[in-house]
Amino acid sequence: MQDGVMHTHDEETRRFFRHSGVHCVLVPRYGSSKLSIFKQHVVGTLFTHHQKCVIVDSQAAGNNRKITAFLGGLDLCDGRYDTPDHRLFNDLDTVFHKDFHNPTFPVNSYGPRQPWHDLHCKVEGPAAYDILTNFEQRWRKATKWRVNLKKVIVWHYDTLIKIKRMPWIVSPSTDEANACVCDEQDPENWHVQIFRSIDSGSVRGFPKLVQEAQSQNLVCAKNLKIDRSIHSAYVKAIRCAQYFIYIENQYFIGSSFCWHSHKNTGADNLIPVELALKIASKIKAKQRFAVYVVIPMWPEGIPTTAAVQQILFWQVCSQQGQTMSMMYKIIADALESQGLVDSHPQDYLNFYCLGRRELAATPEASLCNDNSALAWRRSTGGS
């Protein structure tokens, strides 16, 4: 069995769909040729793809069809199925038979399996077309040119369905009135906006001219155009929050310019320092505020592999500790300036790791009981 670099069996998936009507393309990441050889290697090694979407056409009014997208949720690979009980040892020979794994501990027929917990959402209307556009841009970037003796053709490039040529599929650009497919009065429906974090190294279709890119709120860096809309949305939401903030993510690193050391590491996102400054402002205003951050013990993957070891070094051993210390110092300074000597920074900011405890059902599996408190894994998605 071919596991692939991140042990998602991607090579096995491609082999399964070979000679079928399904177009399956694996998406490696190649650093720009304008980067140094070392940086190209780093980009290719540490690249992980966190976008997860399923896009289909579904029934609309009359004989029309509409685009429906499912965003986030579980990775579409083996070992990810789970139930609300998050069982570690039970039903491994029935419900989870041959479909569970644990990259942390050796797994046998007794377990323990690794529990999974994630969120998923269904998107319809104009926002679904933003998800479709993102997929099309990524697909075009992932495909390659192939040359034969007679002509240059595009490998897989032209397999995209030309939806704009299908008048029976409702499109916001041509039929804005019918594109809003949900009842405004339905309490189960939410208004949504699609954000992403991606650069021109992963998509095809970003404008080349700086002025045009800036008009689309893209950030222009050296040899790159960057969509940082997720970051911008985070910052705005943090600044608008009044009582609490809950964040659940696979990583929590940032604001390295405020760290005690390693200030030039390059983890420059504003999220941690914005959270700390938000709490400090509430302390000064004498208002209650709380921030809860849920992260895994380490990102998904076998901890001893080179890829995960590099992530662990920068996230846990060095950077994540720096991030947390920086935030707590800002809060502690705010408490001291207000004379709140009986308060503690953890009254305002706390970090958690979800876990699951379960006793083994068999004597053989009881050997694993010491490891039965397993950290849950999340697979993050853009939404």
CB 262 within 8 A of CB 256: yes
Bin 129: left if φ > 0, else alpha if -120 < ψ < 50, else beta: alpha
pTM of the model as a whole: 0.79
Residue among 354, 300, 279 at smallest CA distance from 79 = 300
Predicted pLDDT of residue 308: 67
Amino acid sitting at position 230: I
Interatomic CA distance for residues 179 and 250, integer angstroms: 34
Say which residues have a Cβ less than 8 Å from residue 19's Cβ, sequence separation at least 6. none
Interatomic CA distance for residues 346 and 295, integer angstroms: 16
Interatomic CA distance for residues 379 and 277, integer angstroms: 28
The per-residue pLDDT string of the chain (383 residues; one tens digit each, 9 = 90 and over) reads 455 555 567 788 888 888 888 888 877 766 666 667 777 676 666 666 678 899 999 988 888 888 999 998 777 777 788 888 888 888 888 888 877 777 676 666 677 888 887 788 999 888 999 999 999 998 888 776 544 444 555 455 567 888 888 888 887 765 555 556 677 788 888 888 999 988 888 888 888 888 888 888 898 887 788 899 999 999 999 999 999 999 988 778 889 889 888 888 788 899 999 999 999 999 999 999 999 999 887 766 667 777 667 666 655 555 557 888 899 999 999 999 999 999 999 999 999 987 777 766 555 544 444 444 444 454 443 44
Residue carrying the six token digits 């990441």 = 29
| Three-class SS of 98-143 | CCCCCCCCCCECCECCCCECCCEEEEECHHHHHHHHHHHHHHHHHC
Predicted pLDDT of residue 252: 85
